Amino acid sequence: MPTNSVHKLAVKSIGETAFSLHSVTSNPRQCTPIDLQLAGENLKLQSLTDNPPAVPVQLASYLLTEFFALLHRSGLYNRQKSLWEALARVNEVHLERLKAGFIVKIELPIWELRFIDERGRKLLLARFLDNSAPNLVDVKNGKDSTRFLQSAVKQAEKFKVENPAFAGLILVCEERMPDCLINDVLKLTGDDPVARYQSLLPTIGCPIDLLVRKGEQFSIVLPVLPNRIKNLSSKSLPDNSSTSGDGDANHEPSELVV
């Protein structure tokens, strides 16, 4: 375990006058895939502490670039506007390995990522569950899955009380998103087509999204997007214009993609 218990990353723009996430959110309907690529390339994460953990840093970078672009290009940003716009306001990301126990602390296979604005307020919460200790947390087990979800929702509710501008919760698993976790989230958010895309937690009125990490790549599981949209990224630019808007995000696929 690194010396630092909380790792901090500063979110910087490489060129102050270049296209940025703020540029996209200020006029989203006019942005093209090229604009999204420029905004992502203009963003960098600068470590403020020693030896930040590689995978959580990779996740933070993905959420601020590829995920941000995917929400725009799929039209999902219309359904989850608060979460999407919050990504553009992130000033720092704090990374911390969660622990359990009162006297003897045991490290859990869960990294918590807190996305902070320039005033020090928590805007977004992400939790990444790796496969390093399935004996401690195994989300394929229904009870562990429920505890993992409930703990994250409780923390999100706390952040929402602290800061009414808190805008969303993101849960990430390795390799595969267990059906039990998906079903638990759908019970909370609703299972009709509109509810699936908004994916709002009723207690805080903010979206909850589920992602998986396979190899070096992240992908969205919930809300469910058609594969042709789901596989888009700001690094795979088509020749045509942006697919932003409500069109694809209003189409409900017939089944979950897990």
The rounded Cα 76 to chain-centroid distance in angstroms is 13
Range list of β-strands (E), the chain: 6-13, 43-47, 92-100, 106-116, 122-129, 168-174, 200-201, 206-214, 217-222
Question: What average pLDDT does the segment 8-14 reach?
Answer: 93
Provide the pLDDT for residue 221. Answer: 92
Residue 5 pLDDT exceeds 80: yes
The model's pLDDT over 153-163, given as tens digits with 9 standing for 90+, comes to: 999 999 999 99
Residue 246 pLDDT exceeds 80: no
Minimum mean pLDDT range among 173-182, 191-200, 234-243: 234-243
Burial environment of residue 239 by CB neighbours within 10 A (0 to 12, 13 to 18, 19 or more): exposed
Q: Quick one: what percent of the chain has pLDDT higher than 90?
A: 55
Q: CA-to-CA distance for 47 and 143, rounded, in angstroms?
A: 36
**Cis preceding linkage at 207, omega within 30:** no
Mean pLDDT of the chain: 84
pTM as predicted:
0.86
Provide the pLDDT for residue 232. Answer: 57
Among 253, 255, 225, which residue's Cα sits nearest to residue 73?
225
Domain ranges of the chain: 6-250
Residue 103, strand partner residues: none
At residue 2 the predicted structure's pLDDT band, cuts being 50, 70 and 90, is: very low
β pairing state of 106-116 and 122-129: antiparallel
At residue 238 the predicted structure's pLDDT band, cuts being 50, 70 and 90, is: very low
| Other beta carbons less than 10 A from residue 226's beta carbon | 14
Q: CA-to-CA distance for 60 and 4, rounded, in angstroms?
A: 18
More confidently predicted of 137 and 153: 153
The model's pLDDT over 65-120, given as tens digits with 9 standing for 90+, comes to: 999 999 998 888 989 999 999 999 999 999 999 988 777 778 899 999 999 999 99
Residue 54 pLDDT exceeds 80: yes
Minimum mean pLDDT range among 2-11, 19-28, 61-70, 77-86: 2-11
Provide the pLDDT for residue 94. Answer: 97
Question: What average pLDDT does the segment 231-245 reach?
Answer: 43
At residue 191 the predicted structure's pLDDT band, cuts being 50, 70 and 90, is: confident
At residue 228 the predicted structure's pLDDT band, cuts being 50, 70 and 90, is: low
Provide the pLDDT for residue 100. Answer: 83
